[in-house]
Amino acid sequence: MAKARAPRKIPAQQEAAAAVKAEAVAATALEKGELITSETQVQTGQFKEEEPGVWEGYVEWEKYPEKKKVGHELMKATKFPPPPEFQLAPLPKRNPVLYGDLYKDFHHAIGLDTVPEYSWGRVLKEKASTMTHVLAFPYNGEPNHEFLMKDPITPNEDHFVRNHGGIPKCVRPDKYKLQIGGKVNKEISISLADLRDPQKFPQQKLAVTLQCCGTRRIEQIALYPGHGLLVPNAPWPEGAIGNAVYTGVLLKDVLERACDGINVDKVKAHAEFISADTYFKFNQVYNYAVSVPYRFVDKDSVMLAWEMNGKPLPEIHGYPLRIVVPGVIGARSAKWVTRINILDEPSWGPVQRMEYLYYCNTQYGKHNTLFSNGFSIERMPVSSAIMKPNDGNIIIHDGQIKLEGWAYSGGENWVERVECSVDGGFTWYPVPEENLSKKHYYTWRLWKASIPLDMEGWCEVLVRAWDSSCNTQPISVRSVWNWDLHVTQSCHKIKVYSVNRTKPLTAQRLKEYEEAGLDFASEPITRPVPWPLESMEDYKARYNKYPREPQD
């Protein structure tokens, strides 16, 4: 190992100033496109590439405790500016919303300097330019909501991305090997060619909805901020969900046919997935590692996938091979997977054991929250969202409001019914079956609705879904709030301003606007009507007919 590079030192008194400056520098570089370096070679600084010539930017940590220690020492030796606070004030109205300088500094501290630039380059190359970059690094982005609603199958370039670190680059997929070990009867190291050989393993094409359990987190943040580290808790709106057809093989088949099965009780076993990307937690350095109970592998269609919607897996989605765990929080679908271990307990990787925990939402608070009093979020509950219109929109309509959105349920459930309410959740209208996209075992359903709306002014529009186990969604965000701000599965509620043209006065007012050359819909609703509300003759006539004061 080469000599460690001096980590960047940030004197305590300059911390706040450095944080502000770093944000500004990153903003300018992003705006100028200076970080477009997708062809940059990803380098690992002083740490050895695990498989030089096969991967770039892949440092193996889990196999080398000594190396992990050096990484930890380097991290400890660096003073990092505090992460910017993003929950207590409104989120900045810019794209990228958050820059993630702290995680760039983490990578810098251990010499992985080119990783952030390389990763941003892949964003520009592989994702639609219309993405909302919720966090620039590690990259977390969601698509334009209208694009997401166009088709039940999400195009690759519009599929959300959730990364905890940089993107490692597999330069020689022909030399890539997946290792499978732990409590298996035969440890193997298997090539992509062998995995893709239909003589060896039957191939599967499966439509799977992946949902990050941080989807709709901004609703929890808006009410009651919580745990505020950027990467675990990116401030997601409603688009951290997508649906794609994956091609691959079943992990179960590979374990049974190539490893001669597992040698631990199926009920107690867990399958651990270890990836090539580097992850930081509490100044320690790791590879991304998670696990799922073996029961999921046995029963559900846990896949090793190399194709997404008929195309090679994009680099940003895990090229050359990723795990796809249907029905379960996205975090378990490990990308850039290098190793699978069969264990007799869940992985001790921090993503598995210290994140994606659902903490008690009342009585505990920040200082009583312990890893041990959270439970692991695995199968996703039923949830839904209104994607069109948006919160705060002015809707001019003829007595029916048009709504669009998604509904999803994980585990072994699918969505049976979607219902909308325009009165804050008192009355519910079912979305007709013909307005829901097709049912599949592991996918969402997109829906379109036209709901009677009589009232004028601000109204609360809600959606809720029912799944095949009769589960539905609670009304209030408060009832699902948890310190880590996960799984916002309460009814999605937006407020829109209803302008009902079937009301004669409304129709009349709209006509007045048109005649005055004003576009009612694009005027701020707060702007007063620029002329008297009615003619003085009408006012007087009505006043005389219904006098304000009692007459005797």
Ligand X SMILES: Nc1nc2c(c(=O)[nH]1)N[C@H]1C(S)=C(S)[C@@H](COP(=O)(O)O)O[C@H]1N2
Of the candidate residues 104, 107, 127, 164, the single one contacting ligand X (CB under 6 A): 164
Say whether residue 162 binds ligand X (CB under 6 A).
yes
Give the whole-angstrom CA distance, residue 259 versus residue 277. Answer: 25
163 touches ligand X by CB under 6 A:
yes
What is the spatial distance between Cα 137 and Cα 231, in angstroms, rounded to a whole number? 8
Residue 326 and residue 210: Cα distance in Å, rounded? 7
Q: Is 317 in the site for ligand X (CB under 6 A)?
A: yes
Binder among 192, 290, 331, 462 for Mo ion (CB under 5 A)? 331
Task: Tell me: does residue 280 bind ligand X (CB under 6 A).
Answer: no
Q: Is 212 in the site for Mo ion (CB under 5 A)?
A: yes
Q: Does residue number 330 form part of the binding site for ligand X (CB under 6 A)?
A: yes
Distance CA 369, CA 355 (A): 12
Among positions 42, 161, 192, 262, the unique one binding ligand X when judged by CB under 6 A:
161
Tell whether residue 331 is a contact of ligand X (CB under 6 A).
yes
Question: What phi and psi values does residue 309 have, to the nearest 5 degrees?
Answer: 55, 45
104 binds Mo ion (CB under 5 A): no
User: Which own/partner pairs from 113-116 qualify as long-range (CB within 8 Å, at least 24 positions apart)?
Assistant: 113/43, 113/45, 114/37, 114/40, 114/41, 114/42, 114/43, 114/57, 115/42, 115/57, 115/165, 115/166, 115/167, 115/278, 116/35, 116/166
CA distance 356 to 290: 11
Please, which residue, 409 or 421, has the CB nearer to Mo ion? 409
Residue 44's binding partner out of ligand X, Mo ion, none, with CB under 5 to 8 Å set by partner kind: none
Give CA–CA dist 442/437, Å, rounded. Answer: 13
- If one asks whether residue 162 binds Mo ion (CB under 5 A), the answer comes out as yes
Q: Is 217 in the site for Mo ion (CB under 5 A)?
A: no
Residue from 131, 178, 210, 230 touching ligand X (CB under 6 A): that is 210
| 298: nearest Cα among 335, 259, 266 | 266
Binding window for ligand X (CB under 6 A); candidates: 154-162, 246-254, 363-371, 517-525? 154-162
Q: Which residues contact 35 (CB under 8 A, 6 or more apart)?
A: 29, 116, 117, 120, 121
Peptide bond into 550 cis (omega under 30): no
* Contact with ligand X (CB under 6 A) among 135, 206, 334, 462: 334
Q: Minimum Å distance from CB 167 to ligand X?
A: 9
**Residues in binding contact with ligand X, number by CB under 6 A:** 19
- The answer to the question of residue 330 lying near Mo ion (CB under 5 A) is yes
- Cβ 46 to ligand X, closest distance in Å? 23
Interaction of residue 314 with Mo ion, rule CB under 5 A? no
User: What's the min distance (Å) between Cβ of 236 and Mo ion?
Assistant: 9
User: Which helix (DSSP H) or strand (DSSP E) does residue 70 occupy?
Assistant: helix 65-77
CB-based contact 466:415 (threshold 8 Å):
yes
Confirm or reject binding of residue 335 to ligand X (CB under 6 A).
yes
Q: Tell me how far apart the 2 most distant CA atoms of the chain are, in Å.
A: 100
Residues that bind ligand X (CB under 6 A): 159-165, 210, 212, 275, 277, 288, 317, 330-331, 333-336
Residues that bind Mo ion (CB under 5 A): 162, 212, 330-331
